[in-house]
Structures are given as C-alpha cells and as structure tokens.
A and B are shown apart, each in its own frame.
Chain A
Amino acid sequence: MRLFRNNAWRTLACAVLLVVVVVSLAANWLAPAGYAKQYREATDAAPSGQHWLGTDEIGRDRFARVLYGTRISLLLAPAAALLSTLMAALIGGLAGYLGGTWTRAAMAVTDLFLSLPWLFLLITVRAVMPLNVTPLASVVVTFLLLGLLGWTSAARVLCATAGSLRDSDFVRQARALGVRPLRLFWLHVLPNLKPVLYAQFWISIPVFILTEANLGILGLGVAEPMPSWGSLLRELEGLVSLGEEPWKFVPLVLLAVVVTSFQFVLSEQQEAAA
C-alpha cells in the first residue's frame, strides 16, 4: 500500500514536470506577444482577459514572462546538471578508480573548490565577463558557470563509489584477465556508477534552479529583458502579505512545485542508487 502511495506521488510529480515543460515549450503559441513587450499604459496591472497574470512594473505580460522564464530555467538547469555530473564522473570517478595519489590529488582540488564562496565567485566571474553579450548568451553563460562550478559534491560521492568498485571481485578478475585500465573503467566501472550519476544529476537540477534564482534576486545572472525564475521572484521584494497581490506569487509557487516534483522523482533515483 505504501509502495503504491509512493509510486502515485512519483507519477504525479512526473506528470507535473511534464505539463510544466510542455506548457513552457508552447510559450510562443500561448503568449504570442512575447516576454519583452512593454505595455506602458498598463503597468503593474492586475490579472485581466488580456494579461492573465497581470503585468509587471514596466508593463510586461507576467504570464508570458512566467512561461518563457520557466522554459529557460527548466531547459538550462538540466543542461548545467548534465555538465556538472559528467565532470564529476570524469574527475571523481576516474580518481576513485585509479586510487592512491590520483584520489588524493583529485580530492584536494575538490576540497579547494568546495571551500570557495560560490556566490562571490560567480559575482566575480560575471564582473570580468565581456559586457556586450546578448541576453541569450548571458543565460547560457550563467548556467555554464553553474555547471562548471557545481561538480564538486558529486565528485566526492563518485570518487568514494568508484574506490569501492576498484577493489571488487569482478574488477580484479577483469584486471587479471588483462583488460586495459581505461577499457575496464569504461566497460565495468562506469556502468556501475550509473545509479549514483542519475541521482547526482537529479539532485543538481533544483540546486541550479535555486542558485540561478538567488543570482537573479541579486540582480546578476540572466540579463534583461530575458526572464528567469530568479528575475521573476524579485517582484516579491517589498510585498508584505499574501493577500496583497497574490498573482505575483505564481513564479514562487511554480518554483516550489517544480523543485518538490524533482524531489519526488529524485527519491526514486536515490532508492535505485542504494
């Protein structure tokens, strides 16, 4: 019965994520006016037939911005997660498999990365980047940075797992049969790391979404006029009660729903990894 309930929640979470992804991909049809058009005569407007979620402070349609922002966050966060997981597999997995000095060196680098203040690092990197980049490029660069800097925790887990596999019987037998180290890693170790890789991938997605949202709240990250969940959440600054303008909370609710859905999907992956 409990298993059924868990499965039902996971199915629901998957369905929610699917709906959110499909709706955000259909943004061009659902909100044809786009996310950047400024209706300057109808700024900060309440929901209406024309603007389903009202408009923001400079008159941009909030519904369109939520859809496009969701699309950006939901497409690029998994891409960044994929990048960070691959880097973690390469650095952590390989170092764990090779053992000895390799493990110590890789873990020293990982510890160094973990000790860096992420947020300040991202702010610094953003500050030295060229200024004349298009909003789209700024989005890609932001998530690329997240991906390049977000592999460390996963690398530690993968290093430990690969280390335990290195001394397992089937690997010893393969080594005794003369299988070359890289082939052995590719054919025997990496497939056994898959469940951990999946779990790390799913864990990273909500983390990157929230990090981008944090950067957005600081005014960094995705450049105007392109929306992201982070920039949409900035509208909540100064709101003191839920009842004041509840439609402004839609991006927050959506973020909570998506992150929670990921957690449900993730729990399945964690169980599989265990």
Chain B
Amino acid sequence: MVTKSRNAILVSALRVSALCIVLAGFALAQGGGELRFCLHSEPKTFDPLKVEDDASVSIRYLTGGVLLRINRQTQALEPELAQSWKVSKDAKQITFKLRSGISFSDGTPFSAEDVVYTVRQLMDPALHSPTGDSFRSGPGIVETRIISPTDISITFPAPVAGLDRQFDQVAILSAHSPKKEMAVLGPFMVADYKPGATVLLVRNPNYWKTDAQGKKLPYLDSIRLDIQPNRDVEMLRFKRGEVDLINSLDSEYFDKLWQIAPQVVHDAGPSLDSEQMWFNQVEKSPLPAYKKTWFRSASFRRAISEAINRDDLSRVVFRGHAQPAVGPISPANKFWFNAKLSAAAAYSRDAALKALQGEGFQLQNGTLKDKDGNEVVFSIITNSGNKYRERMATMIQEDLGKIGIKVNVVTLDFPSLIERMTQTFEYEAVLLGLTNTGLDPNEQMNVWLSSSENHQWNPSEKTPETAWEAEIDKLMREQASSADARARKKAFDRVQEIVVDEVPFIYLVNRNALSAVAADVQGASPVILSPQTFWNADRLEVKGERLALK
C-alpha cells in the first residue's frame, strides 16, 4: 500500500516536471510557430559567398545579414546592417556607416572588421564566389579601409554598375567567430540539416531588429524546409496542410486551388520572367542562304511578331495569368522599364502580311513565298516536357499558318536544344523563357553584348555585325560605367527601344507571379520579386490549426 502511494507520488512529480519543461519551452518561444515550405533541390552550400543554386539562395536570404536590402515590395534599397551609405560619382567607391551593438547568432560582436573580412573573401579569386563575380568589373585589387569602428569604405578598381544594390546579395561573415559561416546576422540560423529530407532553421536569438511595438523579431520560432523536387507532391502537401507556402505556382494549379480555396492563392501581376522566341541569325550556321536572309531581316522579324496573337497566348496558355510582353524588360521592373513602350506589338494579320508583301513575299494559294519562289517554312524548337511552351508554339503555328507560313514544332530534350543553340547552330527559331532574378540591367550584360556567348540570336560576334548591335554594346557599356542612375536609365531606355524596333527577340508574354499561402500564415503579402512569399519572413507568423483544403 505504502509502495503504491510512493509510486503515485513519483509519477505525479514526473508529470509536474514534464509540464514545467513544456511551459518553460513555451515561455522561451515567442509563439510565432513553425513555417513550412519546400525547397525544390538540395542546397549545395551554406556558405553565403559560394551560393549559386536556388535552394542555397533561399537559405542565404533567411539566414544572412546584409548591409543593404532591396525591399521586395517597393523595389527600393533600404539600410540594414549599414545605417547609411554613399556611392562615389565614378561608381568605384562605396562608403558605409554601420550600426553598432549588433551580434552574430553565436554572440560574436559585429564590427567593421567583419565587413572587410567578407569583402576580401568575396573578391578572393581562389574562392570563385558567384556573388563576387558581379563586382568584378575590371582587373585590379579591391581596397577596403576602416575609417572608424563604424565607418568603412570599399574601393573597386573599375566602376561597378548598380554598386549599392549588389550588396543585397552579400551576407556578412564573422571574422572572429569559431563557427565560421554558421554564425549569422539574419533572422534565422541553420539548426539541423538532413540531406535529402529537411533543413531546419530556428530563430536567431541575437537578431537585431524589432517591430514597431519594440517586440523582438522574428516572430516565427522556426522554419522547416522540406527538400521536395516534385511540384505535384508539393501541391498535394499544400492541400493537406503539410506545407504553408508555394513560391512559384503553375497557372493550372493556381486555378485548381482558387476553385477550392480562393483566399490562399495570390496573383501578384506580371513577373520579371519572359517567354520569347528568336530566329537564328548566325552567319556561319548551316541554314540555306535564303532563310538566313529572312531571319536577318528586321522587317521579316517584325512581321512575324505582328502575326502572333499575344493576347490569346496569355489568355489561353496561361489562363489569363500572364501579360502580353512589351519588350525586354517587364513592366514589373518599376525603375528600369521604359514607360514609352507601353503596349505590346499589336496583333494584326493583315498588317503582317502587308509588311511581308512589301519585302517581296507573296501569298500564293494559301502559301507564302519569298521573291525567289521559296516557300516560307521554318521550325520552332522548344524544350520537351514544358507544356506551356509546347502550347505557345502550337498556337504560333496556327497564327502564322493564317498568313501562309508553315511552322514545324519540334520538342527536344534540353541538352540537345542547347547544343543546337550554342554549338552547331542547326536551328531556325527557338522558343524559350528567360528567368530574371535581378532588377538591374547590368545582370543582362551577357545577353546584350554582341561579344557574349549568351547573345543568343548571334553569339560571340568578333565585332558587332549590325549598327544597332554596335549601338547596344556602346549603351550597355556606358550604363555599366556610370553611377548616375538617370544617365543609366536613359541609356537602357534606348537599348529597350532598339530591341523593340529590331526584334532580335520576339517577346511573347510575361508570366504572372503566382503563389499560395496557407490561411494560418499571418503577415504574408506575396510580391513579384524572389522570394515572393517569404521576403518578409521575420514578420511572418503561423497561427491557428493547419487544415487540409477540401
């Protein structure tokens, strides 16, 4: 009897202790809950300077502290670890005034030495930092100078276009922490990593930001990132309430989710991404001479552009979740978009045919022929497995068929397609998309410079083959070496005008930025810039019960 009562007391004591531990846990946690979403690939590194893949970029965004941050909503540059900054007129030097009293996640104090250490690491050629590449504008050494404990200047050997905005990507490392890159200044830190399964991020206890009420940020206790490459499974798990966010949603899935729970899906409008088509203009390509003449003619390209019904592409292929593309820059890029180019090329079959007839083409028995009697037939290649591109190509096939042009749609596996585009040049037209992650035109230098390998319609030109390409080269170099935002904008506006006029790319649509956010996530306001749904992760909260969608 005595033994029984002792056991009962022991069990009660254990229960009370367990309850105390749980309550203590709750007290320590801020109660923001755990956010869950999927990474579509394994993160290749946790070192923020070596980041290249999307998964690692997401982790860097959530864990890294930066001097300046592009506000994903306003697209304006805002101070973070730096209170203020100044770029020299020659765009070679930037001076930062740093915040004081900030510590890394392991308690190591943040100082100007950390910035110096980070910049040296970033520019170390032995590290091959992809982030550092965007700062390498010319040969020479980058000089860093600590002016005072909170003031630092960095001088580059040549002008760096958009210098201050580039620091959005530079997560500051600790020069002294034994934890190396795992000591962070961002809102979260990596707590656990199970390869192939999950990355667990927990709140950084030393994060420096507070909200308007003085409450420490971030609100969330943790973020669980499940590694899930399959988008169908991601969608299914979202429906079951197992994940809270989907960053880039397919338009078909968007509509399906909208039918069952319209409050969880968000269409933020046109994104920076574009779908485009271009003709092979490579002189040494093995195409017949008469086809090269067509493809190198701006009038021919303009007529093709006019004969494509972009409204239908947006409405049918993307179910209305896309906008007809105006030019090389999406209207979503608020600063750099040339507002004079306000409308996409109008669809007009008659105008297209008239323009072609003006160039000597003739419509005979429903078939368009050039002045030498060659039937106008060409193939459009696109990557197999991308149903949206296949549908666009099939619709373009029908549109061009209406003016007597025969189009053969060919889907190829991606490596074969790239080989044809970049090595053998055995293709006539390509339909592909361009994913833009950055806003600055400098990030498109590799597309616009005629000497570049990614100058897709005619790569690696020794000297510009046309006057308009020479002008684009000049303008792109001008804007890249200037610190004057207005001068840069003027130069890049002109580039956009040339591209719209000469049509090296036939821009088709800008897909909308679609995302899904579960109802239990509070504070989310999806935007077009990446990361669309968790750009304000430090202010998100997960509250309430996770419910499956029915």
Contacts and interface: CB of A to CB of B under 8 A. Distances in A.
B384 interface: yes
A219 B391 contact: no
Contact of B384 (A36, A43, A218, A237): A218
A198 to B, nearest CB: 36
B53 interface: no
Nearest to B411: A219
A135 B393 CA distance: 14
A237 B387 contact: yes
Interface string B388-410: 00110111011000000000111
Contacts of A127: 412-413, 416
B408 A223 contact: yes
A109 interface: no
A234 interface: yes
Contacts of A38: 394-395, 398
A245 to B, nearest CB: 11
B391 A58 contact: yes
A59 interface: yes
A40 B391 CA distance: 12
Contacts of A43: 316
A224 B426 contact: no
Contacts of A224: 390, 393-394, 397, 409
A238 B253 contact: yes
Given A43-B316, A58-B395, A220 B408 contact: no
B377 interface: yes
Interface size class of A (residues with CB under 8 A): 20 to 34
B391 A132 contact: no
A57 B236 CA distance: 22
A36 B409 CA distance: 13
A58 B387 contact: no
Contacts of A238: 232, 252-253, 256
Contacts of A138: 408
B357 to A, nearest CB: 24
A123 interface: yes
B316 A218 contact: no
B397 A132 contact: no
Interface string A125-142: 011100111110010000
B412 A58 contact: no
A123 B390 CA distance: 17
A40 B385 CA distance: 22
A240 interface: yes
A246 interface: no
Interface in B212-271: 232, 236, 252-253, 256
A36 B406 CA distance: 14
Count chain B CB atoms within 10 A of each CB in A58, A131, A240 and give the residue with the most.
A131
Contacts of A36: 398
B317 interface: yes
Contact of A126 (B316, B412, B426): B412
A57 B428 contact: no
B427 interface: yes
Nearest to B255: A44
Contacts of A240: 236
Contacts of A128: 416
Interface string B272-298: 000000000000000000000000000
Contacts of B391: 57-58
Nearest to B315: A40
B395 A219 contact: no
Nearest to A133: B408
Contacts of B315: 40
B51 interface: no
Given A40-B312, A219-B411, A132 B398 contact: no
A135 B379 CA distance: 11
Nearest to B429: A131
B199 interface: no
Contacts of B421: none
A131 B428 contact: yes
A126 B398 CA distance: 24
A40 B379 contact: no
A40 B408 contact: no
Contact of B379 (A58, A131, A218, A219): A131
B347 interface: no
B378 interface: yes
A154 to B, nearest CB: 29
Given A131-B427, A132-B408, A58 B397 contact: no
Contacts of B377: 132
A225 interface: yes
A219 B316 contact: no
A38 B236 CA distance: 32
14 contacts: A38-B395, A40-B315, A43-B316, A58-B395, A128-B416, A131-B379, A132-B379, A133-B408, A219-B385, A219-B386, A224-B397, A225-B397, A225-B398, A234-B387
Give the top 5 A-B pairs by smallest Cβ distance, nearest first.
A219-B384, A127-B416, A131-B379, A224-B409, A219-B411
Interface of A: 36, 38, 40, 43, 57-59, 123, 126-128, 131-135, 138, 218-220, 223-225, 234, 237-238, 240
